[in-house]
Amino acid sequence: KDVKDYLHLLDKPLDEFEAPGARNSTLGEDALWHVLYSLGQDNTYLNKRKAYWGLVLAVRDRMLEKWTAVQRKYYANDDKRLYYLSLEFLPGKFLRGNLLALGLENEAHEFLHEHDLSLDEIVDEECEPGLGNGGLGRLASCYMDSMATLGLPAYGYGIRYSYGLFRQEIRNGHQVEQPDNWLHEGSHWLIPRPHNLFPIRFYGTVNEWLDDDGMLRHDWRGGDLVMAMANDMYVPGYRNGHVNSIRLWEARPHKEFVLSSFNAGDYIGSVQEKISDENISMVLYPSDDAPEGKTLRLKQQYFFVAATMRDMVRRFKKLNKPWDQLPEKNVVQLNETHPAIAIPELMRMLLDEELLGWEEAWCICQKLFAYTNHTILPEALETWPVKLIERLLPRHMQIIYEINRRFLEEVRLHFRDEPELPSRVSLISAGPEQRVRMSHLAIVGSFSVNGVSSLHTQILKDRVFHDFIRIFPDRFNNKTNGITPRRWLRQCNVPLSWLLSEHLGCNWITDLTQLKKLRELVDDVEFRHDWEQCRLTNKKRLADYIEKVNGITVNPHSIFDVQVKRFHEYKRQLLNILHIISLYNNIRRNPDVKMQPCTFIFGGKAAPSYQMAKDIIYLINCVARRVNSDPHTRNFLKVIFLANYNVSLAQLLVPATDVSEQISTAGYEASGTGNMKFALNGALTIGTRDGANIEIGERVGDGNIYLFGLCEKEVLALRRRGYDPWEFYKNDSELREVLDMINSDQFTPGDSTAFSSIFNSLLTGGDPFMVLADYRAYVETHKRISHEYVDRDLWIKKSIMNTAGMGYFSSDRAVKEYIDGIWSLEPDV
Ligand code: 9GP
């Protein structure tokens, strides 16, 4: 069947959701108009580029009409607004998703068809904004999609980085980082708003003065000013006429030139100043699950938070309401601690500019802010040196001291017999260099603190923030992450979407729980056949990509086993590659082995400063080179590393995956969201009892997931008892062989020390992430997978049961839980 035969299944009629101001012209007519009048190009013939940009502008017009109508409605209805503050967003490419949400897919297909073009070709023209590192940024984008689809009065806020996360190239097996100049052609999805401009101060001094009531007041002045300019990105809801926006701040020089130095003839000096001001929004920090303690990063955090608080207060002031209604009309969600400096910033504005008293201002803050924690890795919990904040944001440091003083006074009062408690919960850590603990600031200044999976929230309560639970027993809650079904099924897996809509209707797109009805179809032979065909179509598409990009032929009937995510020791890509090496050894030992061919696919970036993660990438590529060129194993085993893993590549990989690798050391992965994407698309998970894997298991059923290895409690217990990786090395000959190969020149002929860092970390270094402890269980589980995959009926049934069980993991469900449990907002459609 042709694409067009199915499209009606996925499209509801337009008139159901057209907003006021709908136009008479067609999308194609408008695109042609824009090619001539906005791009200034001949529109009598179209190429891919012109068609792409013309369509972007025509789609954008429609979003703008809806967005302005929605903004008007917010004011008219006096709606409570949500501000979602995140230093990262990873929206992926826009065109296809926006067409889909606005119900314009058919029109776009027809228009392109008339010009001998296709949507697939022209989306190649689109550059993906990499304004995030990984899970946290992508989650923010999934939530923005759901907020718009649920018609929430919500705004995303972040930074318009000129350079997103680096572009990864692999040269001679090594990761090489290249700048990602995603704006080199400009982006029409982003609307600059030069009049939404706020001055942001750094450094300077604090003066004291007495007001008419004799109250001591503070005034922060001097220092450097940088301008924050708004750029808006639009997020349409799915077929509901609702459009929200993400406001991304861009740093601009305060003055085009500093006049004094200009007059003094220091032309270069004044230009230099302009450049350093703009640096603030120049580049995203490429660290995931580990903060970069650099001044520029703190500047970025304050810069976007200060501009956002100004914007919120600007809108609130239009309502002419008393200050105590600020939290009735607004709620601010802090995505991680990165925006936590918003708490002292709002205090400063209320105290120093609006002249409120401390109690009143603090009461407002505590009712306004909510904080989501996404990590328990100690090295990833942000702290900033007191000295740095004192210099960069002197007034904020005073306010943090005062918040802390009052908080600790209360703690001492209520926990008299625990003299150690105040220093443990203090916002400021003691030691040779005092530091501000941003998570403590976020907890104390918020009315809600949530983790992102059941296990993660439990760990926060039991371990990481245990003391705070007793101080604020009602503050902690769980909101298990979710993913948007629009991008992660409807958009990325068109064949399966057709099949689902044919059998279930289209409502699953906005009500993912409908997927449970698939359970009634598992015994239908024809349905299972169609299911398998969909999967095969996706696998062939991925195989074509691998052939084109990596020049390696892979067998689409082999098991596609995929691990794509940031490279981090706790995510244990190492465990995966150790298993592959042992498989390789076994095939070489038994050339007549009967086994299901397997294609192991890796993708992901390592933080440029994280040497061990880069060494692991190099190891994978060296193993791949050896395995793929060995005539004895070539037909059974392929290892592929796909460079520059990003949202677009994920959309290609996710629907083509048979086995999803989610193998972090139990207790370390807060939730994971990749795990959800794969299972939703019918992959089977091999995973540890970590993060959301546990909840996925509960929903898809024990028999449809491969959980293995130590659970979180066992990891802790083993560590307490004294974990000795050498024992595993000594007692498991297969494992020993693999490790010895890594510690030789087998994969790097002539260089036997290339991977000694890895070998040493696993043995003499104590194997901090317990790779060796889980090795045997992992290998045995893989044997089971390989065995069960051959029983196609069994496997396809399990695959269907995965999709059927994943309804819960929709970001619509997650956002509804935030609405009910934290935000108290009214959907507005
Ligand atoms: O590492 C977590 C990941 O497990 C989670 O799924 C994601 C979204 O909640 O956040 C990641 N954390 C970070 O990226 C930094 O804290």
Q: What is the pLDDT of residue 24?
A: 84
Q: Distance, CA 672 to ligand 1 centroid (Å)?
A: 6
At 419 the three-state DSSP class reads coil
Tens of pLDDT, residues 435-455: 999 999 999 999 999 999 999
Segment 157-166 shows an average pLDDT of 97
Q: Helix/strand/coil (H, E, C) string of 4-61?
A: HHHHHHHCCCHHHCCCCCCCCCCHHHHHHHHHHHCCCCCCCCCCHHHHHHHHHHHHHH
Dist. CA 209 → ligand 1 center (Å): 44
Say whether both 459 and 435 belong to one domain: yes
Kindly report the protein residue whose alpha carbon is nearest to atom 10 of ligand 1: 136
Q: Ligand 1 in contact with 136 (CB < 6 A)?
A: yes
Task: Tell me: do 336 and 360 sit in the same domain.
Answer: yes
At residue 293 the predicted structure's pLDDT band, cuts being 50, 70 and 90, is confident
pLDDT of residue 592: 85
Grouping H, G, I as helix, E, B as strand and the rest as coil, residue 562 is strand
Q: Is 481 in the pocket of ligand 1 (CB under 6 A)?
A: yes
Helix, strand or coil for residue 131?
coil
List the residue whose alpha carbon is closest to atom 3 of ligand 1: 672
Task: Please give the share of the chain, as a percent, with pLDDT higher than 90.
Answer: 90
For the CA of 138, the nearest atom of ligand 1: 8
Residue 278's pLDDT is 78
Is 450 close to ligand 1, i.e. is its CB under 6 Å away? no
Q: Which atom of ligand 1 is found nearest the CA of 456?
A: 4
Residues 583 and 661 both lie in one domain? yes
Three-class secondary structure of residue 320 per DSSP: coil
Name residues whose C-beta falls within 8 Å of residue 18's C-beta, 6 or more positions apart in sequence: 241
**Size (the chain), residues:** 829
**pLDDT at 692 > cutoff 90:** yes
In the numeric block, which tokens belong to residue 223?
């220092």
* Residue-level pLDDT at 181: 93
Q: What mean pLDDT is predicted for residues 682-704? A: 98
How far is ligand 1, taken at its centre, from the CA of residue 375, in Å?
Answer: 6
373 within ligand 1 shell (Cβ under 6 A): no
What positions carry a catalytic annotation?
A: 374, 565-566, 571, 673, 677
The atom number, within ligand 1, closest to the CA of 88 reads 14
Query: Which of 375, 377, 568 has the most ligand 1 atoms within 8 A of CB, as the residue to mutate?
Result: 375
Give the per-residue pLDDT at 267: 73
Is ligand 1 within 6 A of the CB of residue 140?
no
670 CA closest ligand 1 atom index:
4
504 pocket-lining for ligand 1 (C-beta < 6 Å): no
pLDDT at position 287, please?
Answer: 86
Quick one: 461 and 505 in the same domain? no
Residues contacting residue 524 through CB under 8 Å, at least 6 positions apart: none
**CA–CA separation, 422 and 424 (whole Å):** 5
Report the residue among 131, 374, 379, 566 best suited for mutation to probe ligand 1: largest number of ligand atoms under 8 A from its CB: 374
Ligand 1 binding pocket includes 670 (Cβ within 6 Å): yes
* CA atoms of 770 and 719, how far apart (whole Å): 9
Pair (300, 250) in one structural domain: yes
Burial (CB < 10 A; 0-12, 13-18, 19+), residue 210, is: exposed
Q: What's the token pair of residue 324?
A: 């105590």
Q: State whether residue 633 is helix, strand or coil.
A: coil
Domain count within the chain: 2
Q: Give the Å distance between the CA of 818 and the centre of ligand 1.
A: 17
Q: Is 671 in the pocket of ligand 1 (CB under 6 A)?
A: yes
- Shortest-distance Cα residue to atom 6 of ligand 1: 672
The string of pLDDT tens digits covering residues 535-585 is 999 999 999 999 999 999 999 999 999 999 999 999 999 999 999 999 999
pLDDT of residue 18: 54
Same-domain status, 509 and 451: no
Domain for residue 722, yes or no?
no
Cβ within 8 Å of residue 370, ≥6 positions away? 331, 332, 333, 334, 446, 447, 448, 449, 450, 822, 823
Q: Kindly state whether residue 532 falls inside one of the protein's structural domains.
A: yes
Is the CB–ligand 1 distance for residue 336 below 6 Å? yes
Q: Is 690 a pocket residue for ligand 1 (Cβ < 6 Å)?
A: no
SS3 213: coil
Ligand 1 neighbour 607 (Cβ under 6 A): no
Give the mean pLDDT of 601-613: 97
pLDDT at position 728 over 90: yes
User: Do residues 63 and 102 touch, judged by C-beta distance below 8 A?
Assistant: yes
pLDDT at residue number 263: 63
Residue from 86, 136, 663 whose mutation best tests the ligand 1 pocket (most atoms within 8 A of CB): 136
374 lines ligand 1 (CB under 6 A): yes
Ligand 1 neighbourhood includes 669 CB (under 6 angstroms):
yes
pLDDT of residue 829: 59
Q: Is residue 13 in a domain? A: no
Please check whether residue 655 lies inside any domain of the structure: yes
Buried b (16+ CB within 10 A) or exposed e, 791-820: eeeebbbbbbbbbbbbbbbbbbbbbbbbbe
Average of per-residue pLDDT values in the chain: 94
- Round to whole Å and give the CA distance between 588 and 580: 12
In this predicted structure, what is the pLDDT of residue 456? 98
* Closest C-alpha to 333, from 445, 473, 201, 242: 445
Complex-level ipTM beyond the 0.90 threshold: yes
**Residue 276, C-beta contacts closer than 8 angstroms, at least 6 positions apart:** none
Atom of ligand 1 nearest to the CA of 373: 16
Residue-level pLDDT at 270: 73
For 570-573, the CB contacts below 8 A with 24+ separation are 570/289, 570/377, 570/664, 570/665, 570/668, 570/669, 570/769, 571/663, 571/664, 571/669, 572/663, 572/664, 572/665, 572/769, 572/771, 572/774, 573/602, 573/604, 573/616, 573/620
- Residue in 405, 402, 404 with CA at minimum distance from that of residue 352: 402
Of all atoms in ligand 1, which is nearest to the CA of residue 133?
14
Tell me how far the alpha carbon of residue 374 lies from the centroid of ligand 1, in angstroms.
5
Q: Are 336 and 85 in contact (CB under 8 A)?
A: no
On the question of pLDDT at 21 being above 60, the answer is no
Average pLDDT for residues 186-198, to the nearest whole number?
93
- Say what the pLDDT of residue 272 is: 77
Does residue 134 have its Cβ closer than 6 Å to ligand 1? yes
pLDDT, position 22: 64
Question: 671 C-alpha to center of ligand 1: Å?
Answer: 7
Q: How far, CA to CA in Å, does 671 sit from each of 496, 579, 664? A: 26, 24, 10
Q: Is the CB of 288 under 6 A from ligand 1?
A: yes
CA distance 563 to 663: 9
Q: Outline where DSSP puts E strands in 100-222.
A: 154-159, 167-171, 174-178, 190-202, 205-210, 216-221
Confidence of residue 3 (pLDDT cuts 50, 70, 90): low
Whether residue 120 is contained in a domain is answered as no
SS3 state at 797: helix
Q: What residues are paired with 752 via a beta bridge?
A: none
Distant-in-sequence, close-in-space partners of 398: CB < 8 Å, separation ≥ 6: 206, 218
Indicate whether residue 672 lines ligand 1 (CB < 6 A).
Answer: yes
Of 335, 450, 671, the one to substitute when testing ligand 1's pocket (max ligand atoms within 8 A of C-beta) is 671
Q: At what angle do helices 95-102 and 105-114 cross, to 10 degrees?
A: 120
Taking the CA of residue 135 as reference, the ligand 1 atom at the shortest distance is 7
Indicate whether 174 pLDDT > 80: yes
Residue in this structure with the two tokens 């889909």, named with its chain if needed: 100
Nearest atom in ligand 1 to 481's CA? 9
Q: Which residues of 260-269 are buried (b: 16+ CB within 10 A; e: fewer)?
A: ebbeeeeeee
Q: Which residues, at least 6 apart from 442, have a Cβ–Cβ distance to it below 8 Å?
A: 334, 337, 340, 343, 369, 371, 449
Name the residue at shortest CA distance from atom 14 of ligand 1.
136
In-domain check, residue 734: no
- CA nearest ligand 1 atom 15, residue: 289
Q: Round the CA-based radius of gyration of the chain to a whole number and report it.
A: 28
CB atoms within 10 A of CB 352: 17
Say yes or no to pLDDT of 210 above 60: yes
Give 163's DSSP letter: B
| Ligand 1: centre distance to CA 64 (Å) | 32
Nearest CA to ligand 1 atom 8: 136
Contact 516, 810 (CB under 8 A): no
CB 126: neighbour CB atoms within 10 A?
18
The atom of ligand 1 lying closest to the CA of 673 is: 6
Is the Cβ–Cβ distance between 478 and 488 less than 8 Å?
no
Residues 6+ apart with CB under 8 A from 591: 632
**Other Cβ atoms within 10 Å of 721 Cβ, number:** 8
Do 520 and 643 sit in the same domain of this protein?
Answer: yes
Quick check: CB of 375 below 6 Å from ligand 1?
A: yes
Whether residue 103 is contained in a domain is answered as no
CB 190 near ligand 1, within 6 Å: no
pLDDT at residue 266 in the model? 76
Q: Cα(135) to centroid of ligand 1, in Å?
A: 5
> Does residue 541 sit in the same domain as residue 580?
yes
The verdict on 386 and 524 lying in the same domain is no
Average pLDDT estimate for 681-703: 98
Confirm whether 526 is domain-assigned.
Answer: yes
pLDDT, position 772: 98
Q: Which residue has the higher pLDDT, 604 or 287?
A: 604
Q: Are 544 and 536 in contact (CB under 8 A)?
A: no
Range of the domain at 165: 78-92+128-481+815-823
Please give the distance, rounded to the nearest whole angstrom, from the Cα atom of residue 819 to the centre of ligand 1: 21
> φ, ψ for residue 155 (rounded to 5)?
-130, 130
Q: CATH code at 144?
A: 3.40.50.2000
Q: Could you tell me which residue, 415 or 253, shows the higher pLDDT?
A: 415
259 pLDDT above the threshold of 80? no
Residues 800 and 661 occupy one common structural domain:
yes
Q: Is 59 in the pocket of ligand 1 (CB under 6 A)?
A: no
* Ligand 1 atom nearest residue 691's Cα: 4
Phi, psi of 178 (to 5 degrees): -120, 145
Same domain, 439 and 508: no
Shared domain check, 572 and 449: no
Report the C-alpha dihedral over residues 622, 624, 630, 636, rounded to 10 degrees: 160
- In the chain the first and final C-alpha atoms are separated, in Å, by 36
Taking the centre of ligand 1 as the mean of its atom positions, its distance from the CA of residue 152, in whole angstroms, is 24
Question: Residues near 73 by Cβ (< 8 Å), separated by ≥ 6?
Answer: 79, 828
Instruction: Check whether 420 has a pLDDT greater than 60.
Output: yes
Among protein residues, the one with the nearest Cα to ligand 1's atom 12 is 374
| Ligand 1 center to 730 CA (angstroms) | 35
For ligand 1, whether the C-beta of 452 sits within 6 Å is yes
Task: For residue 471, report the distance from its CA to the centre of ligand 1, in Å.
Answer: 26
Pocket probe mutation, ligand 1, options 288, 337, 450, 452, max atoms within 8 Å of Cβ? 452
CB 183 near ligand 1, within 6 Å: no
Is the CB of 633 inside a 6 Å radius of any atom of ligand 1? no
